[in-house]
Chains A and B, each alone.
Chain A
C-alpha cells in the first residue's frame, strides 16, 4: 500500500466504472422502492415508502428506474459488441481477459476451496477470478429476468396481449424471488468479498478508482501480472494512486452503499414474518 507513484495497476476503464456506479445507485433504488412496497404492511415498510413519497410514488420511481436499468443494460450489450476483440474473434472470447466462464474457473473454484481448508496452495488467478465472473453473469441474467418480468408487470394490459393474464401471477413471483436472491447475494456475498475479507478490508477501491494495488494484485492474481510481465506491457498499465479527496469520496460511496444494503437486508429479514407473502 505504499503511496509511491505508479504503484497501482489499471483494472477498469472510466466507462466501466461509470456503469458500475450507475448500476449500484439504480440497484439500491430498486431494492428500496421494491421493499417499501413489499413491506407496506409493516411500520418499517411504511417508513421506507415515506422516503419515496408513499406507496404509489414508490412504484412510479421503481418503474422509471427499472426502465433506466433496462436501457443501461441494452447499452451494455452494445458496449460488449464493441468491446469484443473481433480480430482474434473466437479465441479472444476464451482468453484470460474475457469474462466468459472457462473450464479453469471450475478448477480454480475447487482449488480455492482446497486452499480455504489448507489442503493445497492458492490457485494462480488471472485477471478475473471465478467469483468475479459469477458476479458479472449473475447480474447479467438477473437484468434479463428482472427486466423482462418487470416490464410485463409495469404494462399489464399490454403484457396480457402477448400472453395470458395469468402469466402476470407467474411474472410477479419470479420478479420477487429473483429480487430477493439478487439483494441477498449483493448485500451479503458481494459486499463481504469486496469489503470485509482481510485482503480487501476496509474496501477494494478498484471498481471506483479504476486501479488495484500492484503488490496486492501480484499476490492475488499472479498469472495476470506474470502474463503482462512476459508480454512486456506491465509498465504501460501502471498508474499512480488517486488524490486523497477522491479516495475519501470512494470510501464514502462504498460505505454508503454498504450501509444502505445492510439496512435493507436486516430490515427485510426482521420484518419478513409480518408481511402477507
Chain B
C-alpha cells in the first residue's frame, strides 16, 4: 500500500515536473564582438567570423502576460495585420520565429555599422526574448530610456540626444529617405552634386589638356631660345 502511494506520487511528481519543467533553452551561443574576443590574444585585423545567434526560446517563467506564444501561434496573415510597433513582443504570433535568424527576416537592419563593422549582435542592443517593439512603452529601446538602457552599456555617458542617432541608417540615396530623414537625404545629394560637378568639369578638362600637350611640345622648343640671366 505504502509502496503503491509512493510510486504513484513519484510518477505524478515526474509527470508534473515534466509538465512544469522549463523548456530547454536553445540559447544559442551569443558572441560578443568577435573583434573584442580575439583582440587581446592575437595581433591581426581582429576580424574572424561574423555570425548571428538563433533567436532564443522564450525565457522560462518570463513571459508577456496574456500572450501565449509557440503552442498556438496566430496565423501568419494575422501576424501581418497586427500593428507591431507597440507590442511587448514584436514577434508575437510569427511562425517559425525561433528557428530563424534575425537577418533572415530583417535584411534591411543588417547593414548598419554596429553590425557589419563592430560585429555587434542584434541582441546586444535589442536584448533577449521577447524583443519588444521599439515604441512599446516599457521597451528598453523606447526613446525615453534608450540612451540609459541600451547605448550607455557601451557608450559610457550616452545622452538622450546621442541616442537619437539612427542606428539603422536608411540608404541616403533613396527617395523614401526624403520623408524619413530629409536632412540626410539632402546632405547626401548636395555632396554628391558637388563631387559630380567637380569631375564633370575637371575630368574632360584634364584629359583634353593631356592630349593637347602631346602635340604642343614642338611649339615650345621653337619659341624658347630666349636669353635669360
Q: Which residues of A contact B (CB under 8 A)?
A: 6-7, 37, 40-41, 46, 49-50, 53-56, 112-113, 115-118, 122, 131, 134, 138, 156-157, 160-161, 163-166, 168-170, 172-174, 177-178, 180-181, 184-185, 188-189, 192-193, 196-199, 214-215, 218-219, 234-235, 238, 276-277
Contacts of A196 in B (CB 8 A): 210
Given known pairs A173-B184, A181-B194, the reply for A50 and B45 (CB within 8 Å) is yes
Contact of A198 among B44, B194, B213, B224 (CB under 8 A): B213
Distance in angstroms between the alpha carbons of A180 and B195 in the assembled complex: 9
Q: Which residue of B lies closest to A185 (CB)?
A: B198
A157 pairs with B47, CB closer than 8 A: no
Most buried by A among B155, B164, B209, B216: B209
The A-contacting residues of B in range 138-156, CB under 8 angstroms, are: 155
Given known pairs A56-B35, A180-B195, A189-B203, the reply for A197 and B210 (CB within 8 Å) is yes
Q: Which residue of B lies closest to A238 (CB)?
A: B229
Classify chain B: how many residues form its interface, as a range: 35 or more
Say how far A178's CB is from chain B's closest CB, in angstroms.
Answer: 6
Main secondary structure of the interface of A (DSSP, over half): helix
Q: Which residue of A lies closest to B228 (CB)?
A: A214
Is residue B25 within 8 Å, beta carbon to beta carbon, of the partner chain? no
Q: Which residue of B lies closest to A175 (CB)?
A: B191
A157 pairs with B158, CB closer than 8 A: yes
B161 pairs with A234, CB closer than 8 A: no
Contacts of A40 in B (CB 8 A): 45, 47, 117
Given known pairs A56-B39, A160-B161, A160-B165, the reply for A197 and B181 (CB within 8 Å) is no
Is residue B128 within 8 Å, beta carbon to beta carbon, of the partner chain? no
Is residue B62 within 8 Å, beta carbon to beta carbon, of the partner chain? no
Contact of A116 among B35, B157, B187, B212 (CB under 8 A): B212
B203 pairs with A54, CB closer than 8 A: no
B117 pairs with A55, CB closer than 8 A: yes
B224 pairs with A219, CB closer than 8 A: yes
Contact of B203 among A178, A188, A219, A277 (CB under 8 A): A188
Contact of A177 among B159, B192, B210 (CB under 8 A): B192
Is residue B172 within 8 Å, beta carbon to beta carbon, of the partner chain? yes
Contacts of B41 in A (CB 8 A): none
A53 pairs with B43, CB closer than 8 A: yes
Is residue B75 within 8 Å, beta carbon to beta carbon, of the partner chain? no
Given known pairs A37-B117, A166-B165, the reply for A193 and B229 (CB within 8 Å) is no
